[in-house]
Amino acid sequence: MHRRAGLVLLALAVFCAALSPLLRWYAFPRLAKVPPGQYQEMVLEARPATLLDYSTLRAEQVEKVTIVQTLKGNVEESERIERTAGRDVVVWDALSHVQGPDGRTVSQIPERYVFDAHTQAPVHAPGEMVDGTPVRREGIEFKWPFLTEKRAHLYFDAQTRTSAPIHYRGTRDFRGLSVYYFEQTIPWTKVPYPRKMPIPGIDASTLEKNTGTTRWYTTTRMFWVDPVTGAPVNGEEIHREELRGGTLLGGRDRVTAFAGHVKMRPDYVDHTVELVKSQRLLVLLLTSFLPWGLLLSAGALLTLALVLEARGRRPGPPAPEGEPPPPAPLPA
């Protein structure tokens, strides 16, 4: 009886020990993925800010500039691309909408970002674009990979349409979460005008050609990233834009179009942190809690099996002294 129970426990121990690495290294990379129909909205503000008044072409100090960013999962497009890509794909239709202190539109830049649902690596497909211009992304944008590593990652910049390293700058505590801090600086770079601008009757696509006035941009981009889910819980930018040269500025060399320290609005930070805290439990379940729990269970079951086996091999107690031995069985 002891031996049979020990064999059962030994089989369970082997099963748990084998299942532990399978959950971590086989199941997790296939089960953890970004849902295709996700929708997110984020509001950022620069308080105060410098903003160009396009009616006078003079830079003015304003109380605030608001940037509303939305990410909407396009399920229909992701399913279409998956049929030829042969993997799980997410398509995000993003929109960055900049508003002045009076609520009027300053600029509006749409994007389509196509990426692998499991690794967040870009997937190149027709329709990938920034502000209507086709692009071929390299690196990540908006989200880091699951189980983010302490290293530099290529990060796509929508203004310049290029990718550059965003560097790991240390581990920090942010509202009860241990997060990785990343930073990227884009030097002054000539960038295209947004197609939607607050200048009535002006075609942004021909503005530089007709006036000779160019648009330049620089930013220092900062993200606080939860390393388990790869989701940023906070983001900031020290952002500057200038118009330079040409006839549009009336002989001036340059004028500030926008300058400010852009930060996530506190209520959106609170919401994001709570959302990430709930999602990271699911990832930890597959990468830590279940694998380690199965390994500990395997150890406990193995120990119990060995104890039962040892008890089964232990000789019985000796017969009491002076008692005759039991009679031999009669022959059949």
* Residue 166 in domain: yes
Whether residues 43 and 175 fall in one domain = yes
What pLDDT score was predicted for residue 10?
A: 76
Residue 271 lies in a domain: no
**Is the same domain home to 74 and 97?**
yes
Residues in the chain: 332
> Measuring CA to CA, which residue among 135, 188, 195 is closest to residue 163?
135
DSSP reduced 3-state for 183: strand
| 309 and 231 in a common domain | no
Is 138 in the same domain as 16?
A: no
| Distance from chain centroid for Cα 212 | 39
11 in Cβ contact with 282 (< 8 Å): no
**169 Cβ contact partners less than 8 Å away, ≥ 6 residues apart:** 181, 182, 183
List phi, psi (to 5°) of 260.
Answer: 175, 160
Answer for the pair 62, 50: CB distance below 8 angstroms, yes or no. yes
Range of the domain at 299: 2-21+286-313
Same domain, 112 and 59: yes
Q: Which two tokens stand for residue 7?
A: 């064999």
Angle between helices 2-22 and 290-313 (to 10 degrees): 160
Tens digits of pLDDT across the chain (332 residues): 556 776 777 788 888 888 888 888 888 888 899 999 999 999 999 999 999 998 888 999 999 999 999 999 999 999 999 999 889 999 999 999 999 998 888 999 999 999 999 999 999 999 999 999 999 999 999 999 999 999 999 999 999 999 999 999 999 999 999 999 999 999 999 999 998 888 777 777 788 888 899 999 999 999 999 999 999 999 999 999 999 999 988 889 999 999 999 999 999 999 999 999 989 988 998 888 888 888 888 888 888 878 777 776 666 566 566 556 666 565 55
> Measured between alpha carbons, how far is 271 from 113 in angstroms, rounded to an integer?
24
Are 46 and 11 part of one and the same domain? no
Is the pTM higher than 0.95? no
Q: Do 128 and 70 fall into the same domain?
A: yes
Asked if residue 46 belongs to a domain, the reply is yes
Tokens of 149: 């590593």
Amino acid letter at 332? Answer: A
- What residue type is 244 in one-letter code? R
3-class secondary-structure state, position 289: helix
* The CA-based dihedral angle spanning residues 198, 201, 207, 210, taken in that order and rounded to the nearest 10 degrees: -150
Per DSSP (E only), the strands in 88-213 are: 89-99, 105-116, 129-130, 133-134, 153-157, 162-174, 177-191
CA dist., res. 153 & res. 139, Å (int): 7
